[in-house]
Amino acid sequence: MQSNTRWNNNLAFLLAATGSAVGLGNIWGFPYKAGENGGGLFVLLYIFFVILLGLPVFMAEVAIGKIGKKDPVSAMINTAEKTNSTKNWRVVGYLGILSNLFIGGYYAVIAGLVINYGFISASGFIGKDPTVIYDTEISSFLEMTFWFLLFLALTGFVLARGIEKGIESSMRILMPTLFFLIILMVGYGAYRGDMSAALSYLFSWKAEQFSAATMQAAIGQAFFSLSIGMGTLMAFGYYMPKEQKVPGASSIVVTADTSVALLAGLAIFPLVFAFPFLDPNAGTELVFKTMSTAFAELGAIGQFVGPLFYLLLAVAALSSMISILEPSVLWVQERMPTTRTRATFIVIAICIILCLISVSGFNVLKDFKVGSLENPFEMMKYIADDFLLLLGGTGISAFVGWRLSKIIDLEKLGFKSKLLFSAWIFILRWVSPLFLMVIWVLGNLERIFFIKFF
Ligand code: TRP
């Protein structure tokens, strides 16, 4: 079945792509990674890699979608044909579909926990110990399953309604809500928390913590946060109105995404530092265990601020999750061909199975180790983020740099200067594939074979 749907206007692409980019990666991931990896140094490296590698590869992925049309696999085949390249480039599209499912297969589980925490924090913590709550919540396979199913039902509902009625119209509500909530949270943090401690934690220069691993973390985080590497941006580029400029639109999305990551740090850490017994280095549990303890300490007002914070996370997660599964839905829909609703059902069903595996990593199979990966949840996350996405990003970068660049019409894509265009192609050919492959190899050696160089 052909779906000739497009975004209604230029704003729709910006909203949807920002909705995709701003997600758990920004609010759940960025703050704790910045804290763990040397504060200001990590933040600066992150921004450096976002500009040097993230933005160029982001634009490359959007360009493939805009020129290739259709789902990621067909878009790769079409653009390969147009450039007389081998059709094997379609592997990049298939890798993308696979990444969709694997990312979706753990992302929804964390998002489910977020919704659960929204309700928990609304009911107040009086007389309860938030640390105990966390351990009880994650220990129940059934309860975690219930929450991720709820989240996937919401995602499926939007996806089934299609590009315009589903994604576009939900983003019109979700994005303003998200920006309102994050500003509110930063404001509250500044009013009630310790903003100067937060600023120094996030931005002070801890050079002694610098290592190759810091760089690896910064690059991985930049690509994940910008939604690069698995066809989301190809699909969104395909829906882009013809006259919309790729470099301009991409720069706006990248700036918005980076700003939200920084704001998330400024929303979270002031409250953490308001209570000296809270540990800012709580890693993945920061937004759950640590933040809920902070809300409990705030007393009655915490019962109000807590749910707003988890609503912010849930909104960010939902708009990203929609974009995570969109390429697969589009692919199934065109491949079968079938209706959008049926395609959505198929994709959600596969995602549910993968989510069940992830959930088991928190409880029933929490001691099931693979290499240095602690449990099935870590395994899913590793396959998606460290293995598939980086490969996808490399493929996209190399393909546009070496092949697609030959037929790109600067004007049509929206480049104003020939020099910028040449710099873009240079980065796509030489710089980003090299960086991505180096961190891919190092990461895999370390995670699977325990071989560590730095
Ligand atoms: N960028 C989102 C976040 O920060 C997650 C995400 C959505 C994503 N779509 C993606 C990551 C595509 C990689 C590829 O949470």
Rounded CA-CA distance 277/175 in Å is 34
Q: Is the peptide bond before 337 cis (omega within 30 degrees of 0)?
A: yes
Q: Any idea which of 2-11, 137-146, 365-374, 387-396 has the lowest mean pLDDT?
A: 2-11
Look-up of token digits 């759950």: 288
Across the chain, what does the average pLDDT equal? 93
DSSP 187-242: HHHHHHS-HHHHHHHHHSB-GGG--HHHHHHHHHHHHHHTT-SSSHHHHHHHTS-T
Residue type at 418 in one-letter notation: K
Ligand 1 centroid – CA 405 distance (Å): 26
pLDDT in tens, 220-232: 999 999 999 999 9
Q: Any idea which of 147-161, 313-327, 335-349, 406-420 has the lowest mean pLDDT?
A: 406-420
Ligand 1 centroid – CA 226 distance (Å): 6
What would the two tokens of residue 220 be? 């991985």
Helices 302-335 + 72-82 axis angle, to 10: 50
Burial 297-311 (b: 16+ CB within 10 A, else e): ebeeebbebbbbbbb
pLDDT in tens, 106-120: 999 999 999 999 999
CA 214 to chain centre: 19
CB of 155 closer than 6 A to ligand 1?
no
At 216, is the pLDDT very low, low, confident or very high (cuts 50, 70, 90)? Answer: confident
DSSP 15-65: HHHHHHHSSHIIIIIHHHHHHHTTBHHHHHHHHHHIIIIIHHHHHHHHHHH
| Three-state SS sequence of 91-124 | HHHHHHHHHHHHHHHHHHHHHHHHHHHHHHHHCC
**Sign, Cα dihedral of 155, 158, 163, 168:** negative
Residue type at 368 in one-letter notation: F
Ligand 1 atom 10: the closest Cα is on which residue? 227
3-class DSSP state of 423: helix
CB of 111 closer than 6 A to ligand 1?
no
pLDDT in tens, 119-145: 999 988 777 788 899 999 999 999 999
Counting atoms of ligand 1 from 1, which one is nearest the CA of 385?
13
Residue 20's CB is within 10 A of a number of other CB atoms, namely 25
pTM beyond cutoff 0.75: yes
Q: Ligand 1, from 62, 100, 101, 103: best to mutate by most atoms within 8 Å of Cβ?
A: 103
At 262, is the pLDDT very low, low, confident or very high (cuts 50, 70, 90)? Answer: very high
Tell me, what's the pLDDT at 453? 65
